[in-house]
Amino acid sequence: MVALLSQADDVADALEECLFIHSMLDAPPIDGMPGEVRDALRLLCNTTTAAIQDWVRAIEIARHVGGAGDAGEGESFLQTLWRMLRAERLCDEQARQARRAIVRTLHASPAAYALASDLAATLEKASDALLAAGYSLRSLVFSRNGDAA
């Protein structure tokens, strides 16, 4: 349980840092990103957001797995965790795509380059922490129900 809470806190910390970095990208002297970078970062953000939504679903479903609920809850739980895994892998690729866009368009602006790169890396870090939290939740649910993780 402690690992699960620690990993969930890692997600929150990464998202908090993302908000801070984003606020710096939208303020002088940078005042925004080129469209290619903005679109790549938005795609990465959307994938991370979808994984967060699945994390919330997984927590809710986990409350019912193995209890008096529908037997399909276990399957739904595993499908939700599988989507989180796929999202994390997609975030890896999207972070690479964002870095390519950053190099192509921001090579002459060191501050924007550094901040945009940090934002991409921190969003990807959030997806890594979400996946770790998902694995911990799975282990917790399976151990509670006497199943092998």
Sign for the CA dihedral angle at 6, 11, 14, 20 comes to: negative
| CB atoms closer than 10 angstroms to residue 104 | 11
Average pLDDT rounded to a whole number, residues 20-49: 96
pLDDT over 90 percentage in the chain? 82
Q: Tokens 């890396």 — which residue?
A: 121
What's the pLDDT score for residue 1?
80
| pLDDT-based confidence at residue 83 (cuts at 50, 70, 90) | very high
Average pLDDT rounded to a whole number, residues 17-39: 95
| CB atoms closer than 10 angstroms to residue 113 | 16
Give, in degrees to the nearest 5, the angle at Cα 47 between 44 and 51: 135
What's the pLDDT score for residue 41?
98
| pLDDT-based confidence at residue 103 (cuts at 50, 70, 90) | very high
> Do residues 51 and 91 lie in contact, with contact meaning Cβ atoms separated by under 8 Å?
yes
pLDDT over 70 percentage in the chain? 95
Kindly report the backbone phi and psi dihedral angles of residue 64, in degrees, each rounded to the nearest multiple of 5, phi listed first. -105, -10
What's the pLDDT score for residue 148?
53
Q: Tokens 């002297």 — which residue?
A: 29
| pLDDT-based confidence at residue 12 (cuts at 50, 70, 90) | very high
On whether the pTM is more than 0.85, the answer is yes
